[in-house]
Chains A and B, each alone.
Chain A
Amino acid sequence: MSIATQIIDRHGGADHGHKSYLEDGSGLRSWIFTLDHKRIGIMYLASAMAAFLLGGLLAMIIRIELLTPGPTIISADRYNQAFTLHGAIMIFLFIIPVIPAALGNFFLPLQLGAKDVAFPRLNLASYWIYVIGAIFAVVSMVMGSVDTGWTFYTPYSVDSNTAVIPMVTGAFILGFSSIFTGVNFVVTIHKMRPAGMGWFSMPLFLWALYATSIVQILATPVLGITLLLLAVERLVGIGIFDPLMGGDPVLFQHFFWFYSHPAVYIMILPAMGIISEVIACFSRKNIFGYRFVALSSIGIAVIGFLVWGHHMFVSGQSELAGTIFSALTFLVAIPSAIKVFNWIATMYRGSIELKTPMIYALMFLFLFSIGGLTGVYLGALALNVHVHDTYFVVAHFHYVIVGGTVIAFIGGLHYWWPKMSGRMYPERLAQVVALMIFVGFNWTFFPQFILGTQGMPRRYYNYLPEFAPLHQFSSAGAFVMGAGFGLMIAYFIWSWLRGPRAPQNPWGATTLEWTTSSPPIMHNFHKTPMVSGGAYHYSVHPSEATVRR
């Protein structure tokens, strides 16, 4: 079937109206030119997972190199390139797009009961722009990898004789992809909610995506102009960031973190949305404090714009600035705390079933609490001075990013997998793997908090011998975690090809995506779903509840 007929055909012809989106059209062209949000979501998913494997491979190289002080398997320059690429690939190619652009793309229209996002072509463009950006990043690896750290601090990034420009161009292009996704989601949520679905009856995942999109739209252009100026600085020497030309290198840091702090909320907000869905579903209970959970997403998005300076407490910014940024940093922790407490309250008097998605949600609560509380630790001025740029920071952000976002993403992937693929994953194996990842993760990163408070700086190829035992311990854990991820990918591939067929609604969930077939048909719903009341219908009036108290 040609693309053109897909667009023209408003209601789907009788012959193909009931095929699933996976069977509706085959061959390469039907994928690479598809305007269907579900197929675009799947393409994003596959690409982001490829980036995760590449980034993970680099992480393993890092951990092997750190088994001994001094050279182990690679040279200092190679090591510096390894962590730079690890960070840049994981951030720009994996974690930023993975939840919004893969799961979000797939489920935003489904949860709205809509046929597609508002701008399907823009959606497709966003995917291919992502691919072009990724190609630049990979080309930069071939052309003598970047060694600046993912933060590209000037003046080092102006002096470095590695392929900074291709990498920066790649990140610039990826920014457009991110912006287009954000624009698309905002308009879709504003204009395509079905009659009967008010703002406060949307599923919380949509609130999370909405808040994320706002951050993407407002922050990403600033990264764009920053990287553009960096590239021009290298090419022409305009003297904005380069002190040799009269520029100010610290200005670069302000610009960079003005994007990159909000970017950490681009990573965590959609993850929090998934957690809200999963906890409600597997506790079979309506979410507690719906409005607080929904509005705290907006709170995080807004306050998140005002705290970038907490990455720069020792950069030479004034004491006054440091003090204000520290205070605001503490403020941004409040909405996260509100969410955590409401999730716990949702479990109270629920009927809790420990299926894999729920296990990941519990892991999220455990790991994100540690990550968030150590963020608070980092926000305290005097403590930040001691642990800034040490492994404490490395541990903090792996706890929030891997322990928070990646874990929530994997939980969401298990939750929605039956809908996306039409097949079930192996439940028992998945639970064992979840345990492996959990143990391996803590094993890898918990020791790094101790390394950090002892004073072990980050981005260190060589280190003092007294740090060796903890580093070795950490590396061992990385293998357990890596093996866990490897097994998970293997069973997902198996399930996609051979897994048992999934029913329409395996978890008894009440949001709209579960009212269509698994996998959904091309235009999502056989007939436009009717909406009334809130998104969650798990609970009954307290007097009728039969769960054992």
Chain B
Amino acid sequence: MSQPLATISGRPAPPLAHHFESMKQQHDSAVLGMWVFLLTEILLFSGLFVGYAVYRALHPEVFQAASQLLDWRMGMLNTFVLLTSSLTMALAVRAAQLGRHRQLALLLASTLALAGVFLVVKYFEYSHKLHRGIAPGFWFSPHGAEAAGLADLPYARNFFSIYFVMTALHGIHVLIGMAAIGWLLARARRQDFGGEYYYPVECVGLYWHLVDLVWIYLFPLLYLID
């Protein structure tokens, strides 16, 4: 929705699409469209949050016990990483608006790098669990010292299933966001943005803040149950 610039044939077109009256109308439309789309994203995740709430209400002690096995330090580190990336993204939008091409490229690249760090940390968390048989659904067969108590905890599997589904869906969103930022980076290096035309950066920025926001909720709900 946010890329009506390059045509399907790949040639760059002038910034104002034919059916808009003004740059402002085009900009406002794109941003409103992005907000509305983010609403659908929130509802997508809220389905999962409701599922989480139901099972936590049913089995509070299980959620508390199982949550201990998530490493809150890793979660905290990732929270910090994502928050920083939100900051660089916000600065990127500003840079795009001011037409500071080099700065924009630099900020987008750092956002991308931070997103990469997030995924690497996530990778370590996942593999740590999978090695101990803490896996979703049918594959759930905890073993080893740390996970010992889990086998007797009747609904622990459900907790970790929810954990994996939620964080995986969030992870997919991170990946999509990285693809979008990568695309912006390529265009920033072509110096496409500036002046009245920067809404692609703004829209991806909004999206990235949402990805961040979802994590801000996931982190305490999954890692910090006391």
Tell me if A74 is interfacial: C-beta within 8 Å of chain B: no
By the criterion of a CB under 8 Å from any partner CB, how many residues of chain B are at the interface? 48
The minimal Cβ–Cβ distance linking A221 to chain B, given in whole angstroms, is 4
> Bound complex: CA of A226 vs CA of B161, how far in Å?
15
The minimal Cβ–Cβ distance linking A309 to chain B, given in whole angstroms, is 14
> Bound complex: CA of A183 vs CA of B1, how far in Å?
10
Tell me if A229 is interfacial: C-beta within 8 Å of chain B: yes
> Bound complex: CA of A115 vs CA of B20, how far in Å?
8
Name the residue on B nearest A251 (C-beta): B54
- A248's partner among B17, B32, B54 (CB-CB below 8 A) is B54
Residue of B4, B19, B30, B137 most packed against chain A (CB within 10 A) = B19
Tell me if B217 is interfacial: C-beta within 8 Å of chain A: no
Determine the chain B residues whose CB is within 8 A of the CB of A191 once the complex forms: 25, 28-29, 32
Tell me if A60 is interfacial: C-beta within 8 Å of chain B: no
Contact present for A226 and B28 (CB under 8 Å)? no
Tell me if A192 is interfacial: C-beta within 8 Å of chain B: yes
- B47's partner among A117, A183, A255 (CB-CB below 8 A) is A255
Tell me if A541 is interfacial: C-beta within 8 Å of chain B: no
The minimal Cβ–Cβ distance linking A195 to chain B, given in whole angstroms, is 9
Contact present for A240 and B29 (CB under 8 Å)? no
State the main secondary structure of chain A at its contact with B: helix
Tell me if A237 is interfacial: C-beta within 8 Å of chain B: yes
Contact present for B158 and A240 (CB under 8 Å)? yes
Q: Which of A118-139 contact B (CB under 8 A)?
A: 118-122
Tell me if A15 is interfacial: C-beta within 8 Å of chain B: no
> Bound complex: CA of A187 vs CA of B26, how far in Å?
10
The minimal Cβ–Cβ distance linking A339 to chain B, given in whole angstroms, is 26
Tell me if B39 is interfacial: C-beta within 8 Å of chain A: yes
Tell me if A85 is interfacial: C-beta within 8 Å of chain B: no
The minimal Cβ–Cβ distance linking B201 to chain A, given in whole angstroms, is 17
Tell me if A383 is interfacial: C-beta within 8 Å of chain B: no
Interface-located stretch among B6-14, B63-71, B105-113, B115-123: B6-14
Contact present for A225 and B48 (CB under 8 Å)? yes
Contact present for A238 and B19 (CB under 8 Å)? no
Tell me if B155 is interfacial: C-beta within 8 Å of chain A: yes
Tell me if B149 is interfacial: C-beta within 8 Å of chain A: no
Determine the chain B residues whose CB is within 8 A of the CB of A229 once the complex forms: 47-48, 51, 165
Tell me if B136 is interfacial: C-beta within 8 Å of chain A: yes
The minimal Cβ–Cβ distance linking A549 to chain B, given in whole angstroms, is 46
A-contacting residues of B (Cβ < 8 Å)? 1, 3-4, 7-9, 11, 13-14, 16-20, 25, 28-30, 32-33, 36-37, 39-41, 43-48, 50-51, 54-55, 136-139, 154-155, 157-158, 161-162, 164-165, 169
Given contacts A221-B41, A240-B55, 14 further A-B contacts (CB under 8 A): A4-B7, A7-B4, A9-B18, A119-B33, A187-B29, A222-B44, A222-B46, A224-B44, A224-B47, A238-B162, A239-B137, A239-B158, A246-B154, A246-B158
What are 6 A-B contacts with C-beta separation under 8 Å?
A: A8-B18, A183-B1, A219-B43, A222-B46, A239-B161, A251-B54
The minimal Cβ–Cβ distance linking B191 to chain A, given in whole angstroms, is 21
Complex A-B, nearest 3 residue pairs according to Cβ-Cβ distance, in ascending order:
A225-B47, A236-B137, A238-B161
> Bound complex: CA of A179 vs CA of B33, how far in Å?
11
Tell me if A435 is interfacial: C-beta within 8 Å of chain B: no
Tell me if A114 is interfacial: C-beta within 8 Å of chain B: yes
Determine the chain A residues whose CB is within 8 A of the CB of B9 once the complex forms: 2-4
> Bound complex: CA of A73 vs CA of B138, how far in Å?
40
> Bound complex: CA of A213 vs CA of B135, how far in Å?
39
Number of A-B contacts (CB under 8 A): 142
- A221's partner among B4, B8, B47, B155 (CB-CB below 8 A) is B47
Name the residue on B nearest A116 (C-beta): B19
Assess A120 versus B4: contact at CB under 8 Å? Given A7-B17, A239-B161, A251-B51: yes
Contact present for A8 and B13 (CB under 8 Å)? yes
> Bound complex: CA of A121 vs CA of B39, how far in Å?
20
Determine the chain B residues whose CB is within 8 A of the CB of A2 once the complex forms: 9
Contact present for B33 and A183 (CB under 8 Å)? yes
> Bound complex: CA of A240 vs CA of B162, how far in Å?
8
Determine the chain B residues whose CB is within 8 A of the CB of A327 once the complex forms: none
Contact present for A10 and B18 (CB under 8 Å)? yes
Q: Which of A98-122 contact B (CB under 8 A)?
A: 109, 114-122
Contact present for A247 and B47 (CB under 8 Å)? no
Q: Which of A190-231 contact B (CB under 8 A)?
A: 190-192, 217-222, 224-226, 228-229
Contact present for B7 and A236 (CB under 8 Å)? no
> Bound complex: CA of A420 vs CA of B162, how far in Å?
49
Name the residue on A nearest B16 (C-beta): A10
Assess A120 versus B36: contact at CB under 8 Å? Given A192-B29, A240-B162: no
Name the residue on A nearest B43 (C-beta): A221
Tell me if A245 is interfacial: C-beta within 8 Å of chain B: yes
Assess A239 versus B157: contact at CB under 8 Å? Given A7-B18, A191-B29, A224-B44: yes
Contact present for B36 and A217 (CB under 8 Å)? yes
Determine the chain B residues whose CB is within 8 A of the CB of A179 once the complex forms: 37, 40
Name the residue on B nearest A123 (C-beta): B1
> Bound complex: CA of A236 vs CA of B16, how far in Å?
48
Determine the chain A residues whose CB is within 8 A of the CB of B1 once the complex forms: 119, 121-122, 180, 183
Determine the chain B residues whose CB is within 8 A of the CB of A118 once the complex forms: 19, 29, 33
The minimal Cβ–Cβ distance linking A513 to chain B, given in whole angstroms, is 16
Name the residue on B nearest A8 (C-beta): B13
The minimal Cβ–Cβ distance linking B85 to chain A, given in whole angstroms, is 24
Contact present for B47 and A222 (CB under 8 Å)? yes
Determine the chain A residues whose CB is within 8 A of the CB of B32 once the complex forms: 186-187, 190-191
The minimal Cβ–Cβ distance linking A48 to chain B, given in whole angstroms, is 22
The minimal Cβ–Cβ distance linking B76 to chain A, given in whole angstroms, is 26
The minimal Cβ–Cβ distance linking A25 to chain B, given in whole angstroms, is 14
> Bound complex: CA of A118 vs CA of B20, how far in Å?
8
Contact present for B8 and A3 (CB under 8 Å)? yes
The minimal Cβ–Cβ distance linking A302 to chain B, given in whole angstroms, is 15
> Bound complex: CA of A471 vs CA of B165, how far in Å?
46
Residue of B29, B43, B55, B165 most packed against chain A (CB within 10 A) = B43
Determine the chain A residues whose CB is within 8 A of the CB of B19 once the complex forms: 109, 114-118, 120, 192, 523
Assess A187 versus B25: contact at CB under 8 Å? Given A7-B17, A236-B137, A238-B162: no
Determine the chain A residues whose CB is within 8 A of the CB of B29 once the complex forms: 118-119, 187-188, 190-192
Contact present for A232 and B165 (CB under 8 Å)? yes
Contact present for B137 and A245 (CB under 8 Å)? yes
Name the residue on A nearest B45 (C-beta): A225
